[in-house]
Amino acid sequence: MASNRTFTMIKPDAVEKGNIGGILNMITEGGFRIVSMKLTQLTVADAQKFYAVHSERPFFGELVEFMTRGPIVAAILEKDNAVEDFRTLIGATNPADAAEGTIRKKYATSIGENAVHGSDSDENAAIEGAFHFAGREMF
Ligand code: DAT
Ligand code: MG
């Protein structure tokens, strides 16, 4: 059975541009309940660990630099079929391919600076959420 929680980050580009409110509005309008949320900043070690699966890719250095350059909003979200439905709401990794009505279509500027993260599996959602939040911060 699919878990009902996913993990998201509003990335530094979107925070810099003042898009936290607009993105949170799309998330809540999309039927997701906020379980946990905070403004925080990833260290280089955090970003390298978070994106370890991409460590051999040519864009890894750029990705780590981008993700650590300013604050992010980290949040755990709840909805039936959360992981899959949130991936649908955020849209394709490259905003040029993202469907109308998706967060990345509206707020992302490039494949690298694409405004939001969404977990890709129930297992990763649990790992990523626990990385940022203690049990007492999950409501
Ligand atoms: P997603 O964030 O849609 O899950 P991913 O897991 O494949 O995408 O990649 C993680 C992040 O790495 C992505 O949000 C932006 C960056 N990235 C991926 N492919 C890239 C590329 N070809 N050039 C630059 N950055 C890229
Ligand atoms: Mg991914």
* Residue 106 domain flag: yes
User: Running DSSP on this structure, what letter comes out for residue 32?
Assistant: P
* Residue 108 domain flag: yes
* Residue 28 domain flag: yes
Q: Residue 74 C-alpha to ligand 2 middle, in angstroms?
A: 15
* Reported pTM: 0.97
User: What pLDDT was estimated at residue 1?
Assistant: 54
Q: How many structural domains comprise the chain?
A: 1
Q: Is the ipTM of this complex over 0.85?
A: yes
Q: Is 110 helix (H, G, I), strand (E, B) or coil?
A: coil
- Rounded to whole angstroms, the Cα distance separating 52 from 46 reads 10
Residue nearest to atom 8 of ligand 1 (CA): 93
Q: Over range 59-65, report the average pLDDT.
A: 98
* Residue 86 domain flag: yes
Q: Report the catalytic residues.
A: 117
Residues above pLDDT 70, as percent of the chain: 99
Q: Ligand 1 site: residues with CB under 6 angstroms? A: 54, 59, 63, 93, 111-112, 114, 117, 120
Q: Which domain holds residue 23?
A: 5-41+72-137
- The alpha carbon torsion through 78, 32, 75, 134 (nearest 10 deg) reads -30
